[in-house]
Amino acid sequence: GGGDCWYWLYNGVIQSFGGDLIILSTEISKNILGIYYENGKSLTVDASIFDDNQIGYSSGISVRGYTINPRVVIINSSFGKNSSVSLSGVSEFINSGNRIIPPNTSESIRLYDSIFSTDLVLNPGLTFLIGNVSVDRGKTLTINAGSIVKFQSYINGRYPRLLIRGTMQVKGDSDNKVY
């Protein structure tokens, strides 16, 4: 509540500028962009499907925190062809139970230009692409077994970096590695 939200009919996209946005048990497919969320406080996506959002932006969910750094929760959701997640300017990110829709194998969550002021946990299910991400002092980045983490190529005029000012824990083992 509290922000403007409307459906952009030409692209079949949900756009929100400000406020809180909750998407539950929704299928968003065959669009230019699934969800565009800018300068809001909180975005929650649960038990939803993003598939074939491939024209132009190639993204299922795009979050931009230019003046407000939002909390983003993406859980129990499925991502198909060209429906990745792009998060920029995010202060908190919670993810679990997400999966790729076969035969697709390459969908990802792009994290860039973000300073995490809470603990950050990367869980298996989707590949994480890192670009210009920091974890604050006193906070922990945990990468759980089975997770895939890659560094994105040159983005926004900079090379990618992962700056850990707190603690980093990588929890892979010989049977369930972190890649």
Q: How many other C-beta atoms can be found within 10 angstroms of the C-beta atom of residue 124?
A: 20
- State the Cα–Cα distance between residues 32 and 58, nearest whole angstrom: 7
Mean pLDDT of the chain: 86
Residues 120-130: pLDDT tens digits? 999 999 899 99
Cross-strand partners of 130: 111, 151
In this prediction the pTM is 0.87
Strands 127-135 and 162-164: parallel
**31-56 mean pLDDT:** 85
137-147 residue pLDDT tens: 999 999 999 99
Task: Give the Cα-Cα-Cα angle 50, 52, 57 (nearest 5 degrees).
Answer: 90
The residues, any chain, with a CB within 8 Å of residue 5's CB and separated by 6 or more, are 14, 15, 16, 17, 19, 21
**For residue 155, what pLDDT band results from cuts at 50, 70 and 90?**
low
Share of the chain above pLDDT 70, in %: 89
AA letter at 9: L
Residue with tokens 């920029």: 88
- Tell me the per-residue pLDDT of 63-73, one tens digit each, with 9 for 90 and over: 989 888 999 99
As a whole number of angstroms, the distance between CA 24 and CA 26 comes to: 6
